A and B are shown apart, each in its own frame.
Chain A
Amino acid sequence: MNPALFLSALRRGSRSLLACVLVLLASAALRAQTKDSCLDCHQYLPEPMGVSAETFSQDIHAQKGLTCAACHGGDPNSDDPEKAMSRAAKWKGKIERRQIPELCGSCHSDAAFMKSYNPTLRVDQLQQYKTSVHGKQWAAGDDKVAVCTDCHGVHNLRSPSDSRSSVYPTNIAGTCARCHADAAHMKSYGIPTDQFASYQKSVHYEAMAEGGDLSAPTCSTCHGNHGAAPPGVESVVSVCSTCHVFQAELFEKSPHEAAFAQAGFPGCVTCHSNHEIRHPTDAMIGVGPRTVCVQCHAEGDAGYAAAAGMKARLVELGSELDKSNAILATAEQAGMEVGEAKLEAGKAHDALVKARVTIHAFDMAKLDEDVAPGLKLAKKTYEAGEAALHERTVRRQGLAAALVAIVVVLIGLKLYIGAIERESE
């Protein structure tokens, strides 16, 4: 072998060897850094001391590289339990319930620290918690109220965007219900425990649980999460209006706004309830026994007459629309082209939907601004349906006439063929 080539190969080889050694050293150092000797023992211990490696690996903190020591202190690099759990290693042991909010807040309220993990994460949770009913009770010495771990869990705490998290939108109500639906737990507070059962009957729950709409309201949407508190009478409209903007705007300009305030009625909740907000229907309005209007209005007052009038207008538009849809469906089944009329009927339906929103103005003239054009459209589309069915009849009559003419021609041809064939024979 050429000595120069040999030396060159040796140099290349020694450089590669050095690179390998460096990689091995670096990985050993990294391993030493993320070592968590706590789990070596605690994964074999029974509850409540035991935490399996698999459980902890699901925890968002573990996934971000934090170890048990981040909360419990101690030295996770030491395999000697005496050293790992020594006061010298700042080992805290079991975290007392009283210490939990402040311990979590020690990181989660530190904007600079949190930025290194998630720059978009809020850092006011502890501050908000202190304003919540939970936080205030806690400050007053009540250990039963919820602290961070009661809602978020511990050791397998997941990101709120993880569908397995206890604070994922579809799981929040169930998490709140763990305490709020527990009559024994809530007994000392003197508040009802039927909120979750009521919420499960609501249109909001239906949208969330059955419709899969993660933006549908759950407990924290109206009450807040870390600052959870019941909205006061005066703020109910503001809470609902975060989604139901038009209804709130109309209500604020309506005669009911001042009347409700004077009577101390909690805005929207007065008619729609709070947790058990059922799908609103036209049956709610009017002067029938099950309507909400008669809770306050009695026969002879102006509101009673207005409620009856508004109900009548909604029913009129609804029934005209039903009639129109039925005739258009019949015409369509008969093969008639009624696409344009169906489009117009869709606009009439939009007018009805808008009218149901305008109801919140409790103003007959305003309601008529939506109902009148809707009625006009519904009548027009009904006429289109009638015209289509009339056209169908005309077509069938035309067909009958044409078939008679064809049969006459066929008979004529048959006779003519017979005649010429007889003639040729």
Chain B
Amino acid sequence: MSLLAALKRWLDERFGWEELTAPLRKKMVPSHRYSYWYFLGGMTLFLFLVQIVTGALLLLYYRPGANEAFESVQFIMTQVHFGWLVRSIHSWSANLLIFMAFAHLFSVLFLRSYRKPRELTWLSGMVLLALMLGFGFTGYLLPWNMLAYFATKVGTAIPGQLPLIGTPTLLFLRGGEEVTGATLNRMFGLHVAILPAIATMLLLLHLALIQWFGMSVPPRIEKEWRQAPASRREMRFFPNFLLRELMAWFVALGALGALAALFPWELGVKADPFASAPAGIKPEWYFLFMFQTLRMIPAKVLGIEGELLGILGFGVLGAAAFLVPFLDRKKPIDTSRWITWAAVLVLVYMVAMTIYGFIAK
């Protein structure tokens, strides 16, 4: 008897391993021309796991605080064995994770996977995306360099424009009126404790819901399959789909390693609150489309503060995206054209504004 078989038997005798893993063995994944989109969720999960591992390693040396944060990251980058690799992978993976999360969102949107009975899966996914953006925002300040300092100053000032809740939000985010060591400490707390706790719970819920409902079949494929039942194809989740997913994870790992080795994430210059802001300060690329929009809105639109109007506009857009499963009233088998056009419009707008944000001075 092989060691693996002995271990299985040992677990089976004590925990009913065969019974426990039966659903996993029985789980089937629809196999069709859009199946590749199913990998995006798994890739996002993989990158999240990379973040947890590299983040935990960084925590061994990172010291929060305005007087120590920059120096500790510099120490990680230059003195700690493979510290440069861990930090660079953490930074690159964070960006790829957000990219994958957006790609996953739009694939779910275009394939109509959010519809009944998967409304809760969509909702938990949207909250997870918001949390990932929160991770990005809070993590950006942690190296305490000039760009991060001023980008956080600008980023925290934007919600400060809101009526009534603006000032309390700004004070909450900054831990005072200015971006200081207190801001850094609370960003650190949010980044390594509060956000991970919420994200882990939601991720488990998201995965449980996927497990519960199984993979959604796009309406167009479903129609084709109904017309020709013989064309229906499925693949076993374990090991067939999972091994394919594993291949994708290895590709992602290779890409992360290559990015970290060829383009190590730079550290920049230590933050100096008394220095003047560097020219052309911009947020991370995933906030750029919003930032550029706010820059372009006139100071007053119909007597209302332009920036406030922009923030409210993005709030409405976010709420609409959140409620998509409830706005799309068509039966699961039908497709709502307006959702597709709205999604294409939003995607084109986001991409165009991001590119414009990069080239605009």
* Other-chain contact of A396, B84, B244, B253, B262 (Cβ < 8 Å): B262
A398 B261 Cβ-Cβ under 8 A: yes
Contacting pair A413 B247 (CB below 8 A): yes
Instruction: State the Cβ distance, B118 to closest chain A Cβ, in Å.
Output: 28
Contact in complex: B250, A410 (CB < 8 Å): yes
Q: Kindly specify which of B51-59, B105-113, B263-271 makes contact with the partner chain.
A: B263-271
A345: shortest Cβ distance to chain B, in Å? 14
Q: Select B74's contact among A335, A340, A399, A417, beta carbons within 8 Å.
A: A340
Over the window 34-73 of chain B, the binary record of Cβ atoms lying under 8 Å from chain A Cβ atoms (1 yes, 0 no) is: 0000000000000000000000000000000000000000
Interface membership of B240, Cβ < 8 A: yes
A289 to chain B, nearest CB (A): 43
Instruction: Give the distance to chain A from B300, nearest Cβ to Cβ, in Å.
Output: 36
**B234 → A minimal CB distance (Å):** 12
A413 and B240 CA atoms in complex are apart in Å by 10
Given contacts A337-B78, A340-B74, contact A420 B250 (CB under 8 A): no
Contact A420 B239 (CB under 8 A): yes
Q: Are the CB atoms of A337 and B247 closer together than 8 Å?
A: no
What is the CA–CA distance of A336 and B87 in the complex, to the nearest angstrom?
13
Q: Is the CB of B244 within 8 A of A417?
A: yes
Residue B320, interface by CB 8 Å: no
Cα-based distance from A415 to B264 in the complex (angstroms): 34
Is B264 in contact with A337, judged by CB distance below 8 angstroms? yes
On whether the beta carbons of B267 and A420 are closer than 8 Å, the reply is no
Task: Report the minimal beta-carbon distance from B265 to chain A, rounded to whole angstroms.
Answer: 8
A421: interface (CB < 8 Å): yes
B194 lies within 8 A of chain A by Cβ: no
Whether the pair A337, B77 counts as a contact (CB closer than 8 A) is: yes
| A15 at interface by CB-CB < 8 Å | no
A419 to chain B, nearest CB (A): 11
Q: Say whether B258 contacts A413, CB under 8 Å.
A: no
Question: B246 contacts which chain A residues (CB < 8 A)?
Answer: 413
Name A403's contact: one of B84, B239, B254 (CB within 8 Å): B254
Question: A410 touching B257 by the CB < 8 A rule?
Answer: no
Known: A339-B74, A409-B250. A417 touches B261 (CB 8 A): no
Total B residues in contact with A, Cβ cutoff 8 Å = 26
Interface assignment of B251: CB less than 8 Å from any CB of chain A: yes
Q: Is the CB of B264 within 8 A of A336?
A: yes
Residue among A396, A402, A406, A416 facing the most chain B CB atoms (10 A cut-off): A406
- Do A335 and B263 touch (CB < 8 A)? yes
- The interface residues of chain B, by DSSP majority, are classed as helix
Is A421 touching B84 in the complex (CB atoms < 8 A)? no
A399 to B84, CA, bound (A): 13
Taking CB atoms, residues of chain A closer than 8 Å to B85 are 395
B254 and A402: CB pair below 8 A?
yes
Q: Is the CB of A421 within 8 A of B253?
A: no
Inter-subunit contact B250/A413 (CB<8 Å): yes
Q: Which of A335, A337, A399, A409 has the most CB of B within 10 A?
A: A337
Docked complex: A339-353 residues within 8 A CB-CB of B: 339-340
Contact: B247 with A335, CB < 8 Å?
no
Say whether A414 faces chain B, with CB atoms less than 8 Å apart. yes
B11 an interface residue at 8 Å Cβ cutoff?
A: no
Cβ of B243 < 8 Å from any Cβ of A?
yes
Known: A337-B77, A337-B78. A421 touches B262 (CB 8 A): no
Give Cα distance in the complex from A409 to B263, angstroms. 24
A399, B258: Cβ atoms closer than 8 Å: yes
| Cβ < 8 Å to A, chain B residues 232-246 | 236, 239-240, 243-244, 246
Pairwise interchain contact B240-A417, C-beta atoms closer than 8 A: yes
- Residues of chain B within 8 A (CB-CB) of A396 are 261-262
Residues of B within 8 A of A (CB): 74, 77-78, 84-85, 236, 239-240, 243-244, 246-247, 250-251, 253-254, 257-258, 261-267, 269
Please list the residues of chain A having a beta carbon within 8 angstroms of any beta carbon in chain B.
Answer: 335-337, 339-340, 395-396, 398-399, 402-403, 406-407, 409-410, 413-414, 416-417, 420-421, 424
Q: Shortest 10 CB-CB distances between A and B: which pairs?
A: A335-B264, A399-B261, A337-B77, A406-B254, A395-B261, A413-B247, A417-B243, A406-B250, A402-B257, A337-B78
Give me 23 A-to-B residue pairs in the complex whose CB atoms sit less than 8 angstroms apart, sorted by A's number: A335-B262, A335-B263, A335-B264, A335-B266, A337-B74, A337-B264, A337-B267, A339-B74, A339-B267, A339-B269, A340-B74, A340-B78, A395-B85, A396-B262, A399-B261, A399-B262, A402-B257, A406-B250, A413-B250, A414-B247, A416-B243, A417-B244, A424-B236
